[in-house]
Amino acid sequence: MKRSDLLVGPALWRGGWHRDASRLVSPNFGPRPPAATVDMIVLHCISLPPGEFGGDAVQRLFANQLDWDQHPYFDSIRGVKVSCHFFIRRGGELLQFVSADKRAWHAGASSYRGSHNCNDNSIGIELEGVEGGPFEDRQYETLSTLCRAILQRYPVTAVVGHEHIAPGRKTDPGAGFDWLHLQQSLALTSEYFPSIEVARFKL
């Protein structure tokens, strides 16, 4: 696929912020290393408390405003400071917390295809959901549209899950995520995707 096929309009991005995303700025970010090339999209899933959808706990976590005493689970993540670039709700709503030109804190200790510290060169997208569980059609629609926009702006060569850059430590988005659907919707070759998935869905 040619990148010209992905053109989505010159006004779609401004300073790394996506025009169609609701902006909720997180303080948890920093500059990318000077030599970093944004060449990876990392997919995650999250819900707080786990399995509960529709609240604002994820937004408050990324804003460092979560009430740790509000739910017993929150005590297990007390004090963590994390963020992602984008968050896609179950209904497909798109939120953005960090400019895609900046380094969000989503990957942790990680490596992929010779790159280490994947926060440096990746854009992190959180899907509202649980590890191994299914995702909604509207989430896939928003994700596909967002990935096309990212591919148009940044020289992305890999679309992976957190599980692929931190195996043994992370398992999201998990078996419930439909990689074939995403690949086909983006019309990308299998080389963009994790090698563990290649045999499952070659075009």
pLDDT in tens, 151-182: 999 999 999 999 999 999 999 999 999 999 99
On average, the pLDDT of the chain sits at 92
Which residues lie closer than 8 Å to 33 by C-beta, 6 or more apart?
A: 120
Mean pLDDT value of segment 172-200: 86
- Name the DSSP class of 147: H
DSSP 16-60: TEETTSEE---S-EEPPPTT----EEEEEEE-SSTT--SSSHHHH
pLDDT in tens, 122-160: 999 999 999 999 999 999 999 999 999 999 999 999 999
Mean pLDDT value of segment 82-107: 98
Q: Do the Cβ atoms of 73 and 50 come closer than 8 Å?
A: yes
Copy the structure tokens of residue 140.
């896939």
Residue 11: what pLDDT?
87
Q: Distance (Å, rounded) from C-alpha 73 to C-alpha 68?
A: 8
* Residue in the structure block whose two tokens are 């707080």: 48
Q: How many percent of the chain have pLDDT more than 90?
A: 89
Q: Within 10 A of 58 (CB to CB), how many other CB atoms are there?
A: 21
Active-site annotation, residues: 126
Residue 10: what pLDDT?
54
Mean pLDDT value of segment 26-55: 97
- What's the pTM? 0.92
Mean pLDDT value of segment 43-59: 97
Position with higher pLDDT, 202 vs 159: 159
pLDDT in tens, 107-125: 999 999 988 999 999 999 9
DSSP 121-134: GEEEEEEES-TTS-
3-46+84-198 folds as: Lysozyme-like (3.40.80)
Handedness of CA 100, 164, 79, 48 (dihedral sign): positive
